[in-house]
Amino acid sequence: MSKIILTGDRPTGKLHIGHYVGSLKRRVELQNTGEYDDIFIMIADAQALTDNADNPEKVRQNIVEVALDYLSCGLDPAVSTIFIQSMVPQLTELSFYYMNLVTVSRLQRNPTVKAEIQMRNFEASIPVGFFTYPISQAADITAFKATVVPVGEDQMPMIEQTKEIVHKFNYVYGETLVDPKIMLPDNKACLRLPGTDGSAKMSKSLGNCIYLSDSEQDVQKKIMSMFTDPTHLRVEDPGHVEGNPVFIYLDAFCRDEHFAEFWPEYQNLQEVKDHYTRGGLGDVKVKRFLNSVMQAELAPIRERRAQWEKDIPAVYEILKKGSERAEAVAAQTLAEVREAMKINYFDDMALIKEQAERYK
């Protein structure tokens, strides 16, 4: 069986280091293994509009930002098909058919959607499109016959929902859709990177992000003013590393070789954690180290971005070509879906003949 990847991001802002460790970095690594037959990376503008209907300009502006972030992280358009969701209308049609296979109560149980509804104060009036976005995500994944979906932990319920739709569809209409597998980050710290303010998730919508496109100075400023352990008041006080975002970022980004380069007093992160927990290690020192580690990771991304920023028309051309290719692939799946659902009236010679016989 072919190995196919589908994943993507909502163009609701520039991409941040949570996206990077949660999914983007993994995609680039998977792309570079050469083991995948096809890789589709989607900029989910239609999904972004489900909770930004009154702000289409935000979505429109951020498409190129997300594309620039992709290219600067090393997604290669010659290998990975980068496309815009709304440019592939087959996805909307698939969603409409899948809606018949999902109940309202099932959608209401989706924990990520529940949390997002609360975060957006949608409790009193949820847009129908937003409520049903897990179904449209199933359309995105199945349209490309994806076998693997590399995403952050918050996407687990979406992949579960997709699998249920696949099973139900195949049961009712015959084996047609491919059952996808989620691929979560191996590193626990990367499952759901917290915000710089210490809140549970770094999120574009919460304004607690370090962006891949932030300048060196901005990254430094954000790191030096990060939330840490609020009980660690004086340097000599014992500190907590659990739930401390500075240490979670170090878990996500730092490698042993960073110590030799930036902080030779320690050999590895465990030694730093032990010292911090014992007391006697100040937050500023740890933050300075984190800053060095982050700058080392982000500098090449920033440089590649600066190159691509000089040729924005080329970026749009990549998206156009990618969208055309994605549409051709999705059209093939849609044809198979229509045939399985018996709504391929004009292509079904047997049906035409049968009806003709009936009226003889």
Residues that bind ligand ATP (CB under 6 A): 9-10, 12, 18-19, 22-23, 151-152, 154-155, 192-193, 201-205
- Cβ proximity to ligand ATP: between 205 and 292 the closer is 205
Q: Report which DSSP code applies to 178.
A: P
Tell me the closest approach of the beta carbon of residue 164 to ligand ATP, in angstroms.
19
Question: Amino acid identity of 304?
Answer: R
Shortest distance in whole angstroms from residue 101 CB to ligand ATP: 24
The C-alpha atoms of residue 110 and residue 164 are separated, in whole angstroms, by: 13
Shortest distance, CB of residue 133 to ligand ATP, whole angstroms?
Answer: 10
Q: Which is closer to ligand ATP, CB of 51 or CB of 334?
A: 51
Residue closer to ligand ATP (CB basis): 49 or 107 = 49
Shorter beta-carbon distance to ligand ATP: residue 50 or 90: 50
Residue nearest to ligand ATP as judged by C-beta position: 22
The token pair that represents 324 in the structure block: 């055309």
Q: How far is the CB of 174 from ligand ATP (least distance, A)?
A: 31
130/321 Cα distance (integer angstroms): 28
* Helix runs in 120-186, H state only: 128-131, 133-143, 156-173
Here the tokens at position 288 are 């300075």
Nearer to ligand ATP, 87 or 159 (CB): 159
Q: Output the smallest distance, CB 74 to ligand ATP, in A.
A: 16
Which amino acid is located at 242 in the chain? E
- Cα–Cα distance measured from residue 326 to residue 263, given in angstroms and rounded to the nearest whole number: 47
Give the tokens for residue 86.
Answer: 């709304």
User: Do 102 and 354 contact (CB within 8 A), yes or no?
Assistant: no
Q: Which residues lie below 8 Å from residue 107, measured CB to CB, with a gap of 6+?
A: 113, 131, 132, 134, 135
As to burial, measured by CB atoms within 10 angstroms (0-12 exposed, 13-18 middle, 19+ buried), residue 58 is middle
- Minimum CB distance to ligand ATP smaller for 31 or for 259: 31
Token pair 């847009």: residue: 127
Q: Which is nearer to ligand ATP, 30 or 101 (CB)?
A: 30
In 3-state terms the chain splits into helix, strand, coil percentages (rounded to 5) of: 60, 5, 35
Q: Least CB distance from residue 336 to ligand ATP, whole Å?
A: 27
Residue 9 beta carbon to ligand ATP: minimum distance, rounded to whole angstroms: 4
